[in-house]
Structure 1
Amino acid sequence: MLPTFNLILASSSPYRKQLLQRLGLPFVTLAPNLDESPLPGESPKELTLRLAQAKAQAIAVLHPTAWVIGSDQSADLSGRIIGKPGTHAAALAQLKQMQGQVVVFHTSLCLIGQNFCQTIHVPTTVQFRNLPEQVLDQYLRLEKPYDCAGSAKSEGMGIILLEKIESEDPTALIGLPLIALTSLFHQAGIPLTDSQNS
């Protein structure tokens, strides 16, 4: 039985929740109420770093004895932020823009608790294929990735959109880089297995 401690994922994302469940640690999810609009002149990377920390801090203030994980992601097309489309039409427009292009998905992660606060940025470079609009439309109707930055749900059918993925952390593209997170847990002294606590 793993030791219990207060771990909170500051997110309403089902994708991040599913990823964190892989580690087998007890946790709860709480959604921070934040304006996620980019600041004037803010780069996609800067946006995700700021929001990951802001999300964690917003929940940590309410639960000061907890360990809080914040994460944020944006897609970067030639320095332009590509966010969550929200609608079918916006998603189709995004995918058409990204055809044959290299897009960098910036995923940032923050862990706060017990006087510990660290933020990590994990970029993922993705080469998109050139596909007919009919294929893009069919993909969107089947997968409905309207809550995914860039509309490319790589853990599902979205993989057909992609020609190549380059990243140090394969889970970063889905929204929560677990290699980076476990590194932060080690730094913070959070046990991941029974053997570390026996």
Structure 2
Amino acid sequence: MLILASTSPYRRQLLERLRLPFRCLAPGTDERALCGERPADLAGRLAAAKAAAIALAHPQAWVIGSDQCAELDGHVLGKPGNRPAAIAQLQAMSGRTVDFHTAVCLRRGDQVLAAADLTRVRLRPLEPAAIERYLDAEQPYDCAGSFKCEGLGIALFEAIDSTDPTALIGLPLIALAGLLRATGHAVP
């Protein structure tokens, strides 16, 4: 049995690409950063915590936990939640490079495998009208960084530097496929 420790529709859609049967369960993990915790460490800790929370109740299942943190100037950019916060995030990122730390953890009982990805996104300079038009079109209020790179958000960028394009959406499938193969899953 394979379980995705997430209710994110984005992660579910990504995992469906691997054509393995799985189910989704909410891990109920507290996602607040610890005092002084670096964004990359936060992503790794939360991915592991999500997998552990579900693995505890399902010891025979392989559980996938994943988390992503956007970082600008050493600070975590969370999900904006609303339009004013999204405007503020996009204005802050305009013409700058933002790091996205994405971690994945695969766990069954005491067996734990993990991987991480760093994706750098360089946004073009964004005029206020462009930000408004984008938010009117896509409302990415549930996405770290206030954009959906798999949608119209791609028009906000000058470049993406990544070894795994799915990591920016929230689940690094290249790394995950390797972890799954290492545990005996038949991934094409």
User: Identical aligned pairs, as a percentage?
Assistant: 55
Structure 1 residue 100: Cα displacement = 0.7
Determine whether 1:87 maps to 2:57: no
What runs of 5+ residues in structure 2 fail to find an aligned partner? none
In structure 2, distance between residues paired with 1:74 and 1:186: 26
Structure 1 residues 35-54: aligned runs within 5 Å: 35-54=30-49
Aligned length: 188
In structure 1, distance between residues paired with 2:146 and 2:9: 15
Structure 1 residues 30-179: aligned runs within 5 Å: 30-113=25-108, 115-179=110-174
In structure 2, distance between residues paired with 1:32 and 1:139: 32
TM normalised by structure 1 equals 0.93
Alignment root-mean-square deviation, CA = 0.9
3-state SS of the aligned residue for 1:81? Answer: strand
3-state SS of the aligned residue for 1:150? Answer: coil
- Does the CA-based 8 Å contact 1:128-1:164 persist in structure 2? yes
Structure 1 segments, 4+ long, off by >2 Å, are: none
Could you tell me which amino acid in structure 1 is paired with residue 69 of structure 2? S
3-state SS of the aligned residue for 1:85? Answer: coil
In structure 1, distance between residues paired with 2:184 and 2:111: 10
What runs of 5+ residues in structure 1 fail to find an aligned partner? 1-5, 194-198
TM normalised by structure 2 equals 0.98
Structure 1 residue 25: Cα displacement = 0.7
3-state SS of the aligned residue for 1:65? Answer: coil
Could you tell me which amino acid in structure 1 is paired with residue 64 of structure 2? I
Determine whether 1:190 maps to 2:185: yes
In structure 1, distance between residues paired with 2:101 and 2:58: 27
